[in-house]
Chain A
Amino acid sequence: MKRLTLFVLISLITTMGTLAIGQEDGGSWTPSRNVEWVVTSSPGGGSSIFTQTIVEIINAEGLVDEDILINYQTDGAGSVGRRRVSRANERGHMLLTFNNGDLQPLVQVEQGDLDMFTPIAVMATDGQILLVPADSPFETAQDFIDALESGQRIIMGGSRGDDINLKDEIVEATGGDIEYLINDSTGDALTQILGGNTEVVIAKPAASFELVSAGELRPLIAATRDGFNEPFEAPTFIDLGYDISLTVYRGIVGPQDMPQEAVEFWSDVMGQVVETERWQEGYLGQFLLTDNYLPWDEALDYMQEFEDIYTAE
C-alpha cells in the first residue's frame, strides 16, 4: 500500500510538473496545450453562438496553434462554472464568456465582483427583443402593452441576467403581471415557446435568427434604442412611450491570477478576430450586433461601470 501511495504521488507530481512547464519564460506568451473555454449557459443560446463563432474564426485564421475546447457548465445557474474559472490555476489556458448577463448575478446574487476575474476584451454590443409565436393573439406591440396595462397574467420565458433585468423594467414601467420562466439559455427559452408553454419570449437575434427568418416566431417589441433591421424589424419600447432600452455587452474574461502576458496575448487575438470579414459580416452583420471591441485595459473600465450600476441597485 505504501508503495502504491508513493507511486500515485510521483505520477501526480510529474503530471503537475508537466503542466507547469513553459509559462515562466516571460516575454511573448503563447498557449502550450489545449485551451478550455467555459460558457455558463446552455448550448443553442447567444453565448454559445458568440463563443463558437470566435473559436471558428481563430481556427480558420490560424491565430492560435493549440485547440480550444468549449465546455458548457450550466450548474447552479452558471455560478459553479464562474467560480471554477475564477479560481483556476491554468495560467493562460482557460477563458470564460462573460456578458453583463453573467456579471449581474455574480454581483447581486453570488456576492462576487470583477476582482474574481481578469477582463480580456469586450467584443460587441447586443440587444434584446420580445418574440411571439406566429399565431399569437398579440398581433401588434400595442396589443401586448394593453394586456400588460390591464393586468392580464402573461407567461414570459427567457434566459437569466440581463433578460430578468428587462422583465423587471417592463413590470415596473407598465405594472403588468408577468410570470417569468428562467432558462439556462435563450435556446432553451425558444424551445419552450415553440412548444406553446410560454406566450412571449425575450431573445436576441443570434439565437433566434433561423426561427424568425422561417416565420416560426415574429418580432414584437425591440428593447434597444434604435430597434433592429429585417427580419427583426419591430417598434421599440421608446416608440411605444416607455423609456426602456438595455445595452448588453458580450465579453471575455480569464481566471483571477492570469499572467499579464497571457492577458495581452488573448486580447490581441480577439483584436484580430474582430477585424475579419467573417466577424463583421457573418456575425455582427447577420445577427444585428454593434461593433464594440475594447482591449483588456479598456474592457476592465467598461465592465467596472456596469458593476457599479449593479452594486448601486
Chain B
Amino acid sequence: MDTFALLMDGFATALSLQNLAAAAAGAFLGILVGAMPGIGSLAGVALLLPLTFTFNPTTGMIMLSAVYYANMYGGSYSAILINIPGDTPAIMTALDGHPMAKQGRPGQALFTSNIASFIGGTIGILILTILGPNLARFGLRFGPVEMAALLMVAMTSLGWLLGDSPVKGLVTTLLGIIMATIGFDAVTGMPRYHFGSLYLLGGIPFIPLVIGIFGFSQVIEMMELRNKKREFDTERLTLKDSLLTKAEFLRILPPAIRSSFLGTIIGVMPGAGATTGAFLSYMQERRIGKDGHLLGTGRIEGVAAAEAGNNSAAAGAFAPLLSLGIPGSGTGAVLLGGLLMYGLNPGPLLFQNQPDFTWGLIASLYVANVITLMVALIITPWLIKILKVPVKIMIPVITMICIMGAYSANNSLYGIVMMLIFGVLGFLMKKFGYPIAPLLLAYVLAPTLEKNFRQALQISDGSFLIFFQKPIAAVLMVFLLATVASPIIRMMIGKIKNHTKGENI
C-alpha cells in the first residue's frame, strides 16, 4: 500500500468516537498541566501515562500525543497572562505575548498563540508524514561539529538581538553561561565552581530560576507600583475583541509558516528541542520579518514565530523516535516507553513491520492537534478573565504559585530560596534595563554547546579548522562571522561616509 492509502486507513482508526473523546480529555488535562509552572511536558506525560494503560494502544497514544501538544499550548498561556513561562519553549512566547497582555490585548495574544501552534503542529506532522525516515537521516548529520556551530550562531544572536543595548544583552548572556557551568562538568562529571557548597554542587536548579526571574520579580515590581495606576487596560476584555481581524490573521501567516519549517528541522536534530526551535524561529523572524526590529514590544508576529517554532519542533522530534527508536527528549522517552508497553519496537523496521500502527499514530497526531486547538479556543475567553483580577489579589496568588512551583521542582526549600534570590535579581535587571531572556536561553543552551564544542575539538584533535571543513558547519560559521562583523562594518561605512561629507564641505 502506498503512503496515502496507509494514512487514510490510519484516519479511519483514529476517528472513532472513543479516540476523539480520549484526545479531548488529553488536551484538557495537558493544557492544565502545561499552564502550571514547574510541571513541564515530561512530568505531564509521565503523570498521565498510567491513565492510558487501560486503553487500547491507538487510543492510548492519541491521548498521550494530545497531552504532549496541549502542554505546549498551556505553557504559553501562563507566559502571556502572568509572564511566567509554563515550560522552557514559552520563554520566547513571553517576550511579545506578555507585553500584548499589558496593552490590553491578551485575547489576541492567546488566539495568535493557538493558531500558530496549530499551524506549527500541522506543518511539522505533514513534513513527518512525507519525509519520515529520510528526515531522521538528515538529523543524524548534525553531529558534535554541526551542533556546536549551530549553537554558537544561536549564542551570538542572543546578545545582539534581544533587548535594546547589545552590551547589556552580552552581559546577561555571559551571566547565563557562567551560571550554567556551576556544579558538575557535563562531560567528565568533575565538580567545579561550587565554592565548597553542597547545594551549589547540584548546580543552579532551572525551574526555581525561571519562576524567580520571570514570576517573582514581577511580584516585587507589582508591589512597588501598587499605588500607581493599574497598568492593564481591562475595559476591552470581551471575546469578540480578542479575535484577530482578517488583516492581523494574514500578518501572522508568513512568520508562522516560515517558523514551522525551521522548527521541524531543528526538532529532528539530536539534542536540540522545542526550546531551540522556538528561539531560532524567533531570531529568524527578527532578522528577515517585515518590521522584525519591533519584535519584543508586543507584536503578534513574535508570538506566532515562537509558538509555530516550538510546536513544529515537537512534531519533528517524533522522526528519530519512530524511525530509529532513539527518543529526542525526555518526553519522547516516555512516549517510547508507551510504544514498548504496547509491544512495539520502534526502530528502523517499525514503518515496515507495523505499518497500520505507525500510520495510525501519525493520523492520530493530526487528530490530536485539531482537538487540542478546539479545546484551547473554547477555554480562551475564561483565561483572559484572569487579568481582571485586581493586583492586590494577584500578588499573593502569584507568590503562592511561585513558591509551590519552586518547591515542587525538587521537593526542597533550597528551590524556594533560589527562587527568591533570582526574583530579586530579575527585578533589579528589569529596573536597570538588562534583558532577562538572554540569560535564561544561555543557561539552557550552554551545556549542550559545551559538550558538543569539546567533542568537536576531540574529533579534530584540537584544531578549530574543523568548523570550516564540514559543509554544514562551514555555512553556519560564515553566517556567524557575518553576524559579528556586520555592525562593525556598518559603523565603518558610516564613518567613511561622514568623512567624505566633511571633505566635500
Q: Contact residues of A with B, CB < 8 Å?
A: 4, 8, 11-12, 42-44, 48, 52-53, 55-56, 59, 67, 69-72, 75-80, 83-84, 88, 90, 105, 109-110, 153, 155, 160, 179-182, 187-188, 190-192, 194-197, 209-211, 213-214, 216
Contacts and interface: CB of A to CB of B under 8 A. Distances in A.
B386 interface: no
A120 B200 CA distance: 29
Contacts of B53: 59
Interface in B295-333: 320, 324-327, 329-330, 332-333
A75 B191 CA distance: 12
Contact of B333 (A48, A179, A195): A48
Interface stretch (B5-13, B160-168, B339-347, B355-363): B339-347
B245 interface: no
Closest 10 CB pairs of A and B: A76-B184, A43-B333, A210-B347, A77-B189, A197-B143, A195-B140, A214-B348, A43-B327, A67-B50, A79-B184
B144 A182 contact: no
B403 interface: yes
5 contacts: A80-B203, A84-B202, A105-B189, A195-B140, A195-B142
Contacts of B347: 209-211, 213-214
B221 interface: no
A4 B399 contact: yes
Contacts of A52: 337, 340
B349 interface: yes
B441 to A, nearest CB: 18
A39 B59 CA distance: 28
Contact of A56 (B333, B340, B447): B340
Contacts of A187: 326-327
Contact of B144 (A11, A71, A197, A210): A197
A137 B191 CA distance: 39
Contact of A211 (B184, B186, B324, B337): B324
Nearest to B345: A210
B178 interface: no
A83 B50 CA distance: 28
B189 A191 contact: no
B107 to A, nearest CB: 31
Interface string B435-448: 00000000000010
B491 interface: no
B341 A191 contact: no
Nearest to B140: A195
Given A109-B189, A214-B347, A69 B184 contact: no
Interface string B218-242: 0000000000000000000000000
A80 B142 contact: no
Contacts of B461: 153, 179
B396 interface: yes
B458 interface: yes
Contact of A191 (B326, B345, B455, B458): B326
A216 B325 CA distance: 13
B187 interface: yes
Contact of B455 (A110, A181, A213): A181
Nearest to A67: B50
Contacts of B329: 43
Contact of B337 (A42, A70, A105, A180): A70
B407 interface: yes
B326 A181 contact: no
Given A77-B184, A79-B189, A182-B188, A72 B349 contact: no
B46 A69 contact: yes
Interface string B170-198: 00000000000001111111110000000
A34 to B, nearest CB: 8
A216 B348 contact: yes
B99 interface: no
A109 B190 contact: yes
Residue of A12, A48, A67, A194 most packed against chain B (CB within 10 A): A194
B456 to A, nearest CB: 9
Contacts of B184: 75-77, 79-80, 110
Nearest to B404: A11
Nearest to A43: B333
Given A56-B340, A191-B324, A43 B332 contact: yes
Nearest to B340: A52
B343 to A, nearest CB: 9
A210 to B, nearest CB: 3
A109 B53 CA distance: 41
B483 interface: no
Nearest to B395: A4
